[in-house]
Amino acid sequence: MTKYIAFLRAINVGGHTIIKMTDRKQMFKSSGLGNVQTYIQSGNVIFESDEDDTPFLEGIARQVESAWGYKTELFVRSIREVQSIVTKSPFTAKGDETLHIGFLKEKPDRNIKRSC
């Protein structure tokens, strides 16, 4: 089994789009995913699966919209991918510093011109 982290965008931010941790956990379990764990009040969920990420992503996004009445962006990275990103980061956290990492759903288009 492969361990993954699912990132649900804009969940539990500023008191809006609230999905309780227990509800998120149950939603992932009901999709057939194993060893499901939620992480604090973020929209992040850790789980295990033998499948490619595509099939369950669509099902979970539909469940969120059906159960809570709003759409959310959702994407998944394997634990190995996240560990690799942290290890290869040119910005290292030292002492009490924190390393912040942002994920994009797709690779940016190099042809887009910057306006800054």
Report the percentage of the chain scoring pLDDT > 70. Answer: 80
Q: pLDDT by residue (tens digit) across 32-68?
A: 888 999 877 777 889 998 876 556 667 777 777 777 7
Whether the Cβ atoms of residue 71 and residue 55 lie closer than 8 Å to each other: no
Contact 83, 72 (CB under 8 A): no
| Strand ranges for the chain from DSSP E | 2-8, 34-38, 44-49, 74-78
User: Which pLDDT band holds residue 29 (cuts at 50, 70, 90)?
Assistant: confident
